[in-house]
């Protein structure tokens, strides 16, 4: 009989990218030291372009001086991958989990992140799939609906995935997303063409898909206004 595994989920709402980065670093250090259980951050960012370790500056198609006009900022990160965009109406998950305890390698971990977004899309009748060789993330035909960029240090993960619910897709026109040319970016709203439930509902569905695929049997929910106070409630899967 498989032992019960618990996932602590922090629902943070909208968080500045750098603040979320610092939080991930702190939590990853705590997870490495066994001070906290496996933890999942659920949030979204204000308009932000991020460059990963595989970055090539020519994939940013506008001058840095024009970013302010767009109301966006640019951040350099230590995650894998090239350039991508984060913004409102995007569901972002940052898992801070121990791959060693779960028994997963890096490739299997990425595949499960892909499956998490594929399963969410399927709830709305959208057939998504993993990209071809060299095409990271999750796709609907040749249109990208979800991005993945991870970091693994001493077996502890950070960064993660971003699923497009209904972001302003115009922001993607100013970059070559993930360094992949001649490919479109899409969203759940564009692919369904129907009225979607609230973003909060979709965020929770994404969390449920993640928890099931990674084998967590119960969730400890922490709301954004109670993270510091330590209030929490337990939900069995």
Q: Is 85 annotated as a binding residue?
A: yes
Q: Is 13 annotated as a binding residue?
A: no
Q: What whole-number distance in Å separates Cα of residue 216 and Cα of residue 232?
A: 17
79 is annotated as contributing to ligand binding: yes
Say how many C-beta atoms besides its own lie within 10 A of residue 179's C-beta: 18
Q: According to the annotation, is 193 in a ligand binding site?
A: no
What the block records as the tokens of 159 is 């960064």
Asked if 178 is an active-site residue, the reply is yes
Alpha-carbon gap, residue 93 to 159, rounded angstroms: 8
Indicate which residue of 21, 118, 178, 188 is catalytic.
178
Report the C-alpha gap between 59 and 170 in whole angstroms: 15
Residue 82 marked as a ligand binder? yes
Q: What is the dihedral of CA 89, 90, 96, 100, to 10 degrees?
A: 150
20 vs 12: CA distance, rounded Å: 9
Residue 148 marked as a ligand binder: yes
Q: Tell me whether residue 160 is annotated as binding.
A: yes
Find out whether 83 is annotated in a ligand binding site.
Answer: yes
Q: Which residues contact 26 (CB under 8 A, 6 or more apart)?
A: none
Binding residues for substrate: 79-86, 147-149, 160-162
Binding site as annotated, residues: 79-86, 147-149, 160-162
Q: Which residues are catalytic?
A: 178
């Amino acid at each position: 009989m498989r032992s019960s595994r618990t996932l602590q989920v922090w629902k943070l709402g909208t968080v500045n990218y750098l603040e979320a980065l610092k939080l991930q670093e702190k939590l990853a250090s705590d997870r490495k030291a066994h001070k906290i259980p496996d933890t999942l951050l659920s949030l979204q960012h204000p308009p932000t372009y991020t460059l990963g370790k595989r970055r090539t500056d020519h994939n940013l198609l506008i001058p840095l001086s024009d970013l302010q006009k767009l109301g966006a900022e640019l951040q350099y990160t230590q995650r894998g991958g090239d350039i991508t965009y984060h913004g409102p109406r995007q569901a972002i998950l940052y898992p801070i989990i121990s791959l060693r305890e779960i028994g997963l390698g890096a490739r299997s971990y990425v595949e499960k992140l892909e499956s998490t977004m594929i399963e969410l899309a399927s709830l709305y009748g959208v057939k998504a799939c993993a990209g071809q060789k060299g095409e990271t993330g999750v796709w609907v035909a040749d249109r990208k609906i979800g991005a993945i960029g991870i970091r693994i240090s001493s077996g502890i993960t950070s960064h993660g995935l971003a699923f497009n619910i209904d972001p302003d897709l115009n922001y993607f026109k100013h970059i070559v997303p993930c360094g992949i040319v001649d490919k479109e970016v899409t969203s759940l709203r564009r692919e369904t063409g129907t009225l979607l439930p609230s973003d909060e509902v979709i965020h929770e569905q994404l969390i449920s898909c993640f928890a099931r695929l990674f084998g967590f049997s119960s969730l400890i929910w922490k709301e954004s206004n109670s993270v510091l106070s330590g209030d929490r409630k337990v939900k069995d899967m």
